[in-house]
Chain A
């Protein structure tokens, strides 16, 4: 149980195959369109994403609820602040 099935996302964003900085650029764009409190699930294959998404979350104040791996991909749940 890695928590991945517990959180329900409002929006899904798949950044598979993209390298830096596109996953955070697309994440920022997606969050901008969302309402406060909504949850974004972002999937990435970029090994730089776990530290980058954590940094992005700290810098923007959008909470990183979960950062995990699933089936060889990195999965993030972010809550819009």
Chain B
């Protein structure tokens, strides 16, 4: 089926289903880039992705269960920064604070390299009128209320997203 309005701008429809720091980046990067290209953009935040609509972003990353994640130090000479620190699972699972350490290191590395923060990217999306749709069902399951999320978010369900996605040129599940 073709688009309901053939003259409408291109449209991107995303599902953001993950709430960790590493997986928070792709939806916000794609949404802001598409917005910059003049596309209409809507992101449906569901399951753990819903937490990305909270005013204070607390997204963290865990190297445990993420065997491909490079562990890099964000300070010191370049050669030192490029070393990949292989951490045994036993250490990652049992040392208290390991996850928050990994999160701090990733945030600092990203900052040093010139990657915008999740907060900044989300702000860009809001500026570009990206539709941010929170999943009602997830809210009910995890006990979130409307006021737990930023005011720019709207609330909807699967049909809300599907109707939007039906007219989209690009649809991605992240």
- List chain A positions with a Cβ less than 8 A from chain B: 17-22, 24-25, 27-29, 45-46, 55-56, 59-60
Contact A60 B37 (CB under 8 A): yes
Contact A17 B37 (CB under 8 A): no
Query: Which of A28, A46, A59 interacts with B10 by CB under 8 Å?
Result: A59
Give the residues in chain B near A17, CB-CB below 8 Å.
114
- List chain B positions with a Cβ less than 8 A from chain A: 10, 29-30, 32-33, 35-39, 113-116, 121, 124
Q: A21-B32, A56-B37 are in contact. List 14 more A-B contacts (CB 8 A).
A: A20-B33, A21-B33, A21-B121, A22-B114, A25-B32, A25-B33, A25-B36, A28-B38, A45-B114, A56-B36, A59-B10, A59-B38, A59-B39, A60-B38
Report whether over half of chain B's contact residues are helix, strand or loop; otherwise say mixed: helix
A46 CA to B32 CA, complexed, in Å: 17
Q: A24-B37, A25-B32 are in contact. Are A18 and B114 (CB under 8 A)?
A: yes
A19, A21, A27 pick with most chain B CB within 10 angstroms: A21
A56 CA to B29 CA, complexed, in Å: 14
Contact A21 B114 (CB under 8 A): no
Q: How far is the CB of A40 from chain B (nearest CB, A)?
A: 13
A18 CA to B111 CA, complexed, in Å: 10
Contact A22 B116 (CB under 8 A): yes
Contact B115 A19 (CB under 8 A): yes
A29 CA to B124 CA, complexed, in Å: 10
Q: How far is the CB of B133 from chain A (nearest CB, A)?
A: 21
Contact B36 A19 (CB under 8 A): no
Give the residues in chain B near A45, CB-CB below 8 Å.
114
Which 4 residue pairs are nearest across A and B when measured between Cβ atoms? A28-B36, A21-B33, A59-B37, A19-B114
Give the residues in chain A near B115, CB-CB below 8 Å.
19
9 pairs, CB–CB < 8 Å, chain A vs chain B: A19-B113, A21-B36, A24-B33, A25-B32, A28-B36, A28-B37, A56-B36, A56-B37, A59-B37
A22 CA to B29 CA, complexed, in Å: 9
Give the residues in chain B near A18, CB-CB below 8 Å.
114, 116
Give the residues in chain A near B114, CB-CB below 8 Å.
17-19, 22, 45-46
Of all chain A residues, which has the CB nearest B31?
A21
Q: How far is the CB of B114 from chain A (nearest CB, A)?
A: 5
Of all chain B residues, which has the CB nearest A61?
B38
